[in-house]
């Protein structure tokens, strides 16, 4: 089946294909992502949709293609529809998310083991890695946490968008992404060395060094703001580490 869509400037021919959303059949343009196809079919996203750019992790989708027993997963805003696919959204997965006081926790792996003892239920099946839409080695960051290597776990899990798909397939019933988030928090606050230049800058801000400049921006008219923006000095793309702007008024 074909549908003709008229816009002011052009006519677009799009092929419609059948898909099944929560068991109900719809005909949707073959070029759409699952998210857009659902909206085309009449669904309105109030939850389960955020950035539409593959970053926020709100739009996890579970689907199966005809003639294939495998369950597939993806992000609805990134995955294009396929003929005959059966799908449903998984905007939230009820993973165990512990409450803890980060201030009172040291960089000691035992602290994490105490809060998330299910960590040791991992059977190294690797289902979590296979399902991750961000291609993260989920099993490997879990292994790094079990070994107490929080820096490695932080690096491996850094791109996690908290979609929850890994949890949905875990036979050990681990909340991988919540555990990794706790580990990244500990790494960031207790292990990574403090950035001295950042500390200096915070002190300057607190001392009011930039108050006047902010006030000038807040009271400037649109034309002045545009001019300031267009004429701003930009850091060159290949700037060396010792690059500095011409004026140090805002340093
Ligand atoms: S690690 Fe888990 S929660 Fe994070 S992006 Fe991958 S599947 Fe999603
Ligand atoms: S899916 Fe669960 S049990 Fe399997 S490797 Fe990942 S964390 Fe371990
Ligand atoms: S809407 Fe944010 S990842 Fe899909």
pLDDT in single tens digits along all 251 residues of the chain: 455 555 555 666 889 999 999 999 999 999 999 999 999 999 999 999 999 999 999 999 999 999 999 999 999 999 999 999 999 999 899 999 999 999 999 999 999 999 999 999 999 999 999 999 999 999 999 999 999 999 999 999 999 999 999 999 999 999 999 999 999 999 999 999 989 989 999 999 999 999 999 999 999 999 999 999 999 998 888 888 888 888 887 77
Closest ligand (CA of 122): 2
Q: Give the phi and the psi of residue 4 in degrees, each rounded to 5.
A: -105, 125
State the Cα–Cα distance between residues 94 and 213, nearest whole angstrom.
Answer: 46
> What residue owns the CA closest to ligand 2's atom 7?
122
Identify the CA nearest to 175 among candidates 125, 138, 136: 138
C-beta of residue 18 within 8 angstroms of C-beta of residue 84: yes
User: Could you tell me if the CB of 49 is within 6 A of ligand 3?
Assistant: yes
Q: How far is CA 123 from CA 118, 120, 143, 170, in A?
A: 11, 8, 10, 9
Beta-sheet pairing, 11-21 with 86-89: parallel
> What residue owns the CA closest to ligand 2's atom 1?
170
Please state the pTM of the whole predicted model: 0.81
Site to substitute for ligand 2 among 71, 123, 131, most atoms within 8 A of C-beta:
123
User: Could you tell me if the CB of 138 is within 6 A of ligand 2?
Assistant: yes
Tokens of 241: 């580490």
Q: How far is the CA of 74 from the centre of ligand 3 (A)?
A: 10
Q: How far is the CA of 170 from the centre of ligand 1 (A)?
A: 12
Identify the CA nearest to 144 among candidates 206, 186, 90, 91: 186
Q: How far is the CA of 48 from the centre of ligand 2 (A)?
A: 25
Q: Give the torsion through C-alpha atoms of 67, 73, 74, 79, to 10 deg.
A: 10
Q: How far is the CA of 206 from the centre of ligand 3 (A)?
A: 36
């Amino acid at each position: 089946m074909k549908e003709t869509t008229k816009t002011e400037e052009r006519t677009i021919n799009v092929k419609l294909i059948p898909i099944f959303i929560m068991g109900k059949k719809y005909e949707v343009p073959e070029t759409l992502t699952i998210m857009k196809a659902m909206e085309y079919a009449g669904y309105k996203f109030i939850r389960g949709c955020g950035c539409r750019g593959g970053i926020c992790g709100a739009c996890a989708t579970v689907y199966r293609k005809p003639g294939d027993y495998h369950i597939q997963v993806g992000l609805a805003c990134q995955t294009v529809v396929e003929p005959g696919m059966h799908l449903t959204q998984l905007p939230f997965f009820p993973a165990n998310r512990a409450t803890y006081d980060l201030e009172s926790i040291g960089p000691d792996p035992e602290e994490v083991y105490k809060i998330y003892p299910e960590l040791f239920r991992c059977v190294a099946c690797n289902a979590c890695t296979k399902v991750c839409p961000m291609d993260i080695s989920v099993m490997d960051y879990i292994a790094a946490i079990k070994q107490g290597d929080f820096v490695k776990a932080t690096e491996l899990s850094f791109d996690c968008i908290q979609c929850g798909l890994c949890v949905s397939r875990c036979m050990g019933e681990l909340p991988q992404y919540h555990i990794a988030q706790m580990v990244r928090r500990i790494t960031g606050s207790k292990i990574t060395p403090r950035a001295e230049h950042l500390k200096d800058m915070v002190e300057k801000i607190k001392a009011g060094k930039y108050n006047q400049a902010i006030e000038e921006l807040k009271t400037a008219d649109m034309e002045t703001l545009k001019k300031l923006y267009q004429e701003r000095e930009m850091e060159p793309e290949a700037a060396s580490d010792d690059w500095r702007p011409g004026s140090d008024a805002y340093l």
